[in-house]
Amino acid sequence: MVGFRLDGLAKSFGGARAVDGLSLTVPDGAFLALLGASGCGKTTVLRLLAGLERPDAGTIAIGDRMVAGDGVFVPPEERGLGMVFQSYALWPHMSVEGNVSFALHGKGMAAGDIARRTAEALDLVGLGHRAKARPHELSGGQRQRVALARSLALRPKLLLLDEPLANLDPALRTGLAAEFRRLHAETRTTFVFVTHDQAEALALATTIAVLEAGRLEQCAPPQDLWRRPATPTVARFIGDGRLLPVEVVGREGDRLAVTSGAARLLVPGDAEPGPAWLCLRRQGLALAEGPEAPGALPGRVRNTRFEAGAFLHDVDLATADGLSVEASGPDPLPPGTPVALQVTDGWVIARPS
């Protein structure tokens, strides 16, 4: 079953295209992260889904119901969704339970049903014992949980999260991220999580849509984005990948044979013979035995620093002018040391001639 579907969605502001022909189908119960750098259009997509903006073109369907496009525009309050902002947006004069139950009073529900659903939502986020507290008496993480409970009390088909962890310190972010994973698993509500933090997206989401200039670059599970980036934009953004220009010269089994200068490598990928990019990350590079090891990329150490229990070397590759990659090792190396890097993990992306 479809959670929501975008088809040819477009939105401009003052002549600038924020969303550009975006099409995306997300299954019911997914945890989708909309990921990209500032200005990529992810927040606009969220606002279009919420009904806070009208699309210039294209359609939006939530479940099997069209909510925008083709002369249709369903207002936010009738879309059956919840929304959690990074600013909490709580009423300061109301108690925790008052904030959570506020939206329910407009649904024509009996008082007993409102009280029961409010209590259930607060218990779900672990705040049943703070029902009588006011927002100023809570920590930032607890206030964000109240905002989450307020949305969950509505039992939405779709829960929209607009960078809800952005204003929290690292410890609170980690704890609340774990809560989001637990709540998603328990409720099976479709979550849409907007973030520019790829670590959050990779840790939380079942599916990630990477946006660039209002267009969809790739939508896939986190592990597929990491291991098999479809475009140079995704390769650079996810895991801070570096793109080495290579030439695909053939295929050997399930690997591509590529050359970079005099170096010949066998690596996984999806490209026909000809010019291509090889995506490299520090996790997929290892120092080889000796600076002229076969099947390795030659280079020279630019500098070395100690990080996370190992020495991290910035290496200027000899086969690509100006391209520097990172590789870890057990010992420090002085600047100028010749090295060779074995590619233990990478992915080849086609490149136009």
Give 249-262 pLDDT, tens digit per residue. Answer: 999 989 999 999 88
pLDDT, position 52: 95
**Strand-by-strand arrangement of the 242-252 sheet:** 263-267, 255-260, 242-252, 274-280, 347-350, 269-270
Q: Where are the domains of the chain?
A: 2-232, 241-350
Residues 6+ apart with CB under 8 A from 9: 19, 21, 22, 23, 45, 48, 55, 57, 58, 59, 60
pLDDT, position 353: 64
Given this structure, which CATH class describes domain 2-232?
Answer: alpha beta
CA distances from 352 to 231, 247, 272, 275 (A): 12, 11, 11, 7
pLDDT, position 333: 94
pTM of the predicted model as reported, rounded to 2 decimal places = 0.86
Pairing of strands 190-195, 207-212: unpaired
Residues of the chain whose pLDDT is less than 50?
none
pLDDT, position 108: 79
pLDDT tens string 18-42:
999 999 999 999 999 999 988 999 9
pLDDT, position 31: 94
Q: How many Å apart are CA 62 and CA 314, to the nearest integer?
A: 47
